[in-house]
Each structure stands twice: as C-alpha cells, then as structure tokens.
Amino acid sequence: MKGFRIFWMLLFTCILFSQPLIAQNNVPKKSVRIGLLLPLLLDSAIDQKNNFKFPPKTFPKYLLPGLEFYEGALLALDSLNKKRAPIQLVVLDTRAAKENIQTQLEKLAGPPLDLILTHCNATELRIIATYGLKKNIPVINVNLPNDAGITGNPFLVLLNSTLRTQCVALADHIQSKYTKQQVVVFRKKGGLEDRIRSHWEENNQAKKIIKWTYVDLPDSFSVNHLSAKLDTTKSTICVAGTLDENFGKRLAAQLATVSKQRYKVSLFGLPTWDDSKDFSRLEYRGIDITYCTPYYNSRTDSVSQQVQQFFATTLYARPSDMVLRGYEAVWKYANLLLKYGNNIATQLDSNEFELFREMELKPVIGKEKQLDYFENKKLFFLKWQDGIRKLIS
C-alpha cells in the first residue's frame, strides 16, 4: 500500500492539471507515439496544492484500474527501452475535471498519435473511436465487453470479448461437452438478463441445440426453488443467467448444498466470476463451477515472473491482471507499430507479438456488410473444483 501511495504522488506531480504526460525511451529523434487514455481521476485524488486528499494509510479502490494499467504500460516501455525502440507514450486522464477527453484530444500538441490504447466506459469509447476514425488512428480498447453501439469503424479493436461472444462461447462449450444433459438456466429478472437469454436462444435455435429451461428466481431464493427444477435420476447442467456476481455466489452455495443430497449438478457462468476467489471456500465445495473469460494468464512465463518480482520488491504488492494487460497491450501494439509503421491498420487482426495469452482478433461484419470493428473471440474456460481453479480445454 505504501508503495502504491508513493507511486501515485509521483504520478500526480507529472500530470497535474490534466496536462499530457509523455514517457519515452532515450532513443533517436523520430519515434512512434502511442496515446494512453486512462481513468486516472487525478482531480479527485489531489488538491490544487498537490496534496493527496486521502489519509496516509488509505487508498481508494476506484483509482486502481487506470493506475494499474499505466504501471503495466511503463514496465513494457522499460522492456522496449532495452531494445532501444523509439516509443513515446502520451497519457491523458479520461476523467479529468477541467477538460473532457474530446477537448484534450483536440488540443493535443506535437506530432499526431500513431495509435491509441484505452481503458474507458462506453460513452468515452464512442468519443475516442470517432476521433480515431476521423484521424485514421487505430484505437485499442482493453476492458469493455460491448461495442458501445459503434459500427463502421475498421480502426477499432476490442480486446475484451463482447457479451454476445461470451454467451455464444459458453453455449457452444456446454453443447460440445454435455450434449445429452438437460440445461437449466437460473436467472433474476432484468433487462440485461433478458439480453443474455436472447443471445442464448438465438444461438441455440440457429445451431439446433435442445431447448434450455429458464427459471426466474426471487431475490431470496432457497434450495427448494432449485431442487424443484432438478432431476434425481440424471445430471443437470445449471447456468447462471446473469452478470450479477452476488446472485452467482448465492446460486453456487445453494447448489453445493443440493449436491450433497440426491442431485448431481454442475454450474456455469460468465466472466464476472473471474475476479472472485470466494469459490475456493468450503461452502462451494461439492460442485464443479465453470466460467469463461477472454483473459487468462497462468503467470508462469518469464515476463510475468519478472513483473511479479518487481511489484514484490519495489511496491510491496502483487500485480493485478490489469497491470499485465497494460504490459501486454503496449508490448504487442508498440512492436506492431515498429514493424509495420503507417500500415498498422492492415494488421489489427494480427496474432504477432502475443505475450501472455492467445487472442483471436476477428473482423465483425455489420448488417450492411461493412466492417464494424475487430473483436477478440478467444475465450478460456476455467473450472473451480474442490477449491482449486484450473484451465480446461
């Protein structure tokens, strides 16, 4: 925690009043410029006198995503520096209080950006992607599980898979591995839950998958609500039809109780379970809990080990996945820029320079047969089994 706080104070000093921070290697004059557009929220953390607004031993969690991505980006830049790669990072705070991101982009001084990497919300992505399309600058988003309604933008890449892609991958996985088993989807009522159901029904109908059973549960559902929909004579595949993590945990705990009776069940869910370590606890033992995620890093490779060592010895912390995503994104796209230069827009679906995980960057074609954007279609399946999480094929 102390290391994070010190780092933030140094970062704030560099980026006061939302002025762009430029980090670069000590390299020849001509360099490629990569914009990092991140939710740093500097104005909420420091005052006009450059004082940290929070008590010395506290650190608000809402500041972490942008900081962690930024730290990963700097570590990647340091690695590129060893190759004397001419890279320049230009950092903008997408949540700056005095100027919105569109104004910051329009006022950006210096040579044009060659590429933009961003962690942002849907509203910000629409602004950033529009700017990228207008200026012919590729925009790589690392976090959003949706396309923000964007169409006809061949310069946009989504490294996170959209909700529809996640739903289709989960349905296809269940169909391929558990063809003859009945599938029951337990869900809460809601617009997002209806959208998830529509993705599954559309996919299952197109692929002639046996119809799934959908069960709406009350907020305070019990074991009895679940057992009434299960069969004691055969195994049941249960699916959490929501992104609500708390609903998923309650469902998992209740099904674990059911499994100790006469029922044999397995539970499946979507990537909102990826950050939860709760499934290692005793109350979830007895059932297999499987979910899909577009990001998986076993952290056994040399680069991950080096990043973890740096965090342990310098920041007294363990790097989050967002740190490694920042490293991964800068490494991959900086190298693509160095190799292809102005032709990088023709390589946005390239699998070159992948570091921690395999990606399948595919063009998404819209209703008008135009290229809407590129999306990572690769999903990994992870299973919690008796408190241990493992990657499955």
For residue 370, tell me if it sits in a domain.
Answer: no
Side chain identity at 156, as an amino acid letter? L
Give the whole-number percent of the chain exceeding pLDDT 70.
89
Please check whether residues 121 and 15 belong to one and the same domain: yes
pLDDT of residue 18 exceeding 50, the answer is no
Predicted pLDDT at 361: 97
Predicted pLDDT at 3: 44
Please check whether residues 186 and 143 belong to one and the same domain: no
Q: Please answer whether residues 65 and 88 qualify as being in contact, where contact means their C-beta atoms are separated by less than 8 angstroms.
A: no
For residue 212, tell me if it sits in a domain.
Answer: yes
For residue 13, tell me if it sits in a domain.
Answer: yes
Average pLDDT over residues 127-134: 97
Average pLDDT over residues 52-81: 83
For residue 97, tell me if it sits in a domain.
Answer: yes
For residue 388, tell me if it sits in a domain.
Answer: yes
**Looking at the 3D structure of the chain, how many domains does it have?**
2
Question: Among 169, 239, 244, which Cα is nearest to 199's?
Answer: 169
* pTM for the whole structure: 0.89
Predicted pLDDT at 22: 53
Task: Mark 274-289 as b/e (b = at least 16 C-beta within 10 Å).
Answer: bebeebeeeebbebeb
Average pLDDT over residues 261-286: 89
β partners of residue 88: 24, 33
Predicted pLDDT at 51: 67
Kindly indicate the confidence band of residue 30, based on its pLDDT and cuts at 50, 70 and 90. Answer: confident
Residue-number span of the structural domain to which 41 is assigned: 2-161+298-359
Predicted pLDDT at 65: 87
Please check whether residues 259 and 386 belong to one and the same domain: yes
* Helix or strand (DSSP H, E) at 376: strand 371-376
Q: Pairing relation of β-strands 236-240 and 213-216?
A: unpaired
Please check whether residues 207 and 275 belong to one and the same domain: yes
pLDDT of residue 20 exceeding 60, the answer is no
- Treating both helix axes as pointing N-terminal to C-terminal, what angle do 64-81 and 302-310 enclose, rounded to 10 degrees? 120
Check the CA dihedral 320-324-327-328 and report its sign: negative
Please check whether residues 326 and 351 belong to one and the same domain: yes
Q: Please answer whether residues 373 and 157 qualify as being in contact, where contact means their C-beta atoms are separated by less than 8 angstroms.
A: yes
Predicted pLDDT at 1: 45
Between the CA atoms of 354, 80, 35 and 149, what dihedral angle is there, to the nearest 10 degrees?
0
Please check whether residues 184 and 272 belong to one and the same domain: yes
Residues 6+ apart with CB under 8 A from 7: 67, 71, 315
Task: Mark 14-24 as b/e (b = at least 16 C-beta within 10 Å).
Answer: ebeebebbebe
Task: Tell me the DSSP string of 249-266.
Answer: HHHHHHHHHHHTTT--EE
Average pLDDT over residues 26-55: 74
Tokens 């617009």, residue located: 191
Please check whether residues 221 and 335 belong to one and the same domain: no
Tokens 């006198």, residue located: 49
Average pLDDT over residues 203-209: 87
pLDDT of residue 19 exceeding 70, the answer is no
Kindly indicate the confidence band of residue 13, based on its pLDDT and cuts at 50, 70 and 90. Answer: very low
Average pLDDT over residues 289-305: 95
Among 206-210, 221-225, 297-301, the range scoring the smallest mean pLDDT is 206-210
Q: Please answer whether residues 106 and 335 qualify as being in contact, where contact means their C-beta atoms are separated by less than 8 angstroms.
A: no
Please check whether residues 218 and 318 belong to one and the same domain: no
**pLDDT digits 0-9 by tens, 338-365:** 999 999 999 999 999 999 999 999 999 9
For residue 367, tell me if it sits in a domain.
Answer: no
Please check whether residues 287 and 325 belong to one and the same domain: no
- CA-CA distances (angstroms) from residue 43 to 46, 52, 111, 112? 6, 10, 27, 26
Token pair of 337 as six digits: 């820029």
Q: Pairing relation of β-strands 361-365 and 371-376?
A: antiparallel
Side chain identity at 5, as an amino acid letter? R
Please check whether residues 250 and 147 belong to one and the same domain: no
Please check whether residues 252 and 311 belong to one and the same domain: no
Predicted pLDDT at 2: 44
Give the whole-number percent of the chain exceeding pLDDT 90.
70
Q: How many helices (H) and strands (E) does the chain have?
A: 11, 15
Predicted pLDDT at 180: 83
For residue 109, tell me if it sits in a domain.
Answer: yes
Name the region of 179 (left: φ>0; alpha: ψ -120 to 50; beta: rest).
alpha
Kindly indicate the confidence band of residue 189, based on its pLDDT and cuts at 50, 70 and 90. Answer: very high
Q: What is the CA 311 to chain-centroid distance, rounded?
A: 21
Please check whether residues 17 and 112 belong to one and the same domain: yes
Predicted pLDDT at 276: 77
CATH number of 303's domain: 3.40.50.2300
- Treating both helix axes as pointing N-terminal to C-terminal, what angle do 2-14 and 64-81 enclose, rounded to 10 degrees? 80
pLDDT of residue 25 exceeding 80, the answer is no
For residue 218, tell me if it sits in a domain.
Answer: yes
pLDDT of residue 16 exceeding 50, the answer is no
> Does residue 52 sit in helix, strand or coil?
strand
- Rounded to whole angstroms, how far apart are CA atoms 158 and 150? 11
